[in-house]
Amino acid sequence: MSLWIVVALAVLNGVTGDPDVTVSPEADTADMLAHPNSVPEYAEEEAEIFGQEEQLLDVEAEEDVMATGELNPNHYPAQRAAKVVQHYLNTRYGSPFRLFGLHRVHSGNAEDVADSGRMYQLEISAQEIISNTTEKCSAEVLFPRGERQGSAQVQASCEELLKSNITAPEEALYQQYKNNQSLLSAQNLPDSHGHIEPDMRPFWHLGIVASSVVMLNESTENTLYNMAQVANITQLATENDQLKFDSHILLHEMVSQEIIHWKLLFTWSPPEGVKVLQMEQLRHCHDCETPLNTS
């Protein structure tokens, strides 16, 4: 395990404490808008505005039970379900210039659905981070159970958040890296001091969007995922119109306090968005440098 991970885990454990906690309803507005990065010192620009639960959590312990009926919007069951909506929005609509965060949970309700699973009905405020646009949205999250157990099923509509015009910067970025003689390679986005070079920030955003596919797929009622770091990202040669990237992503699962390594192979273009072709969880550190099979 690298020194960075050891330090990160030490900081994370010191900040979050017991996972069975409540969200303070008196949390400062700025704290409600923190970065998805799980290491607190990564706090620059959007580091203050991207759904960082470490900034939301109070030290007061609360039994984490799967309540039925009306939920406390500041407790983990509602927050976990709402976080899945954030991953869904990024998976469907995210790009290097459009990212979604969870601003606030206003209300929540949960019920068991016979032979299907458990349904959460939520009223939330979602935020498009880069344009700093916030919209109140209704959402439903179904966590399947039994024979139907699998990825959470999400329905959400946040039309106002999609109105920012990102066509020009997306096309400029695409053309720059489509026509580059040398292929992009970058590490540690952000670095151990929370710094990202401005020209690398779109690729940090791409890593968040691609990792949202993993987090949406892996999320259950008992998990709470955040993006921690793009450990490395490498552009691969391709003969089609998609930019292709091999990446090593670090996720923070807040309930278990684990830093989880994933290898992702994904493509991006302005018309097609982000498409994850392969995802592989790395269970041992010596696997971290093992490249994906790109054939």
- Read off the pLDDT of residues 163-193 as tens digits, 9 standing for 90 and up: 888 899 999 999 999 998 899 999 999 999 9
Residue ranges of the chain that CATH labels 3.10.450.10: 3-162, 167-287
pLDDT of 133-167, one tens digit each?
A: 999 999 999 999 876 678 899 999 888 888 888 89
Sign of CA dihedral 74, 79, 85, 87: positive
Mean pLDDT of 49-74: 56
Please give the model's pTM, rounded to 2 decimal places: 0.77
Q: Given CATH 3.10.450.10, say whether it is the number of domain 167-287.
A: yes
Query: In the beta sheet, which residues pair with residue 246?
Result: 234, 265
Length of the chain: 295
What's the confidence (pLDDT) of residue 162?
84
CATH code of the region 3-162? 3.10.450.10
Name every residue whose Cβ is closer than 8 Å to that of residue 92 and which is 6 or more positions away in sequence: none
Look at residue 56 in the predicted model and tell me its pLDDT.
45
Looking at residue 66, its pLDDT comes to: 62
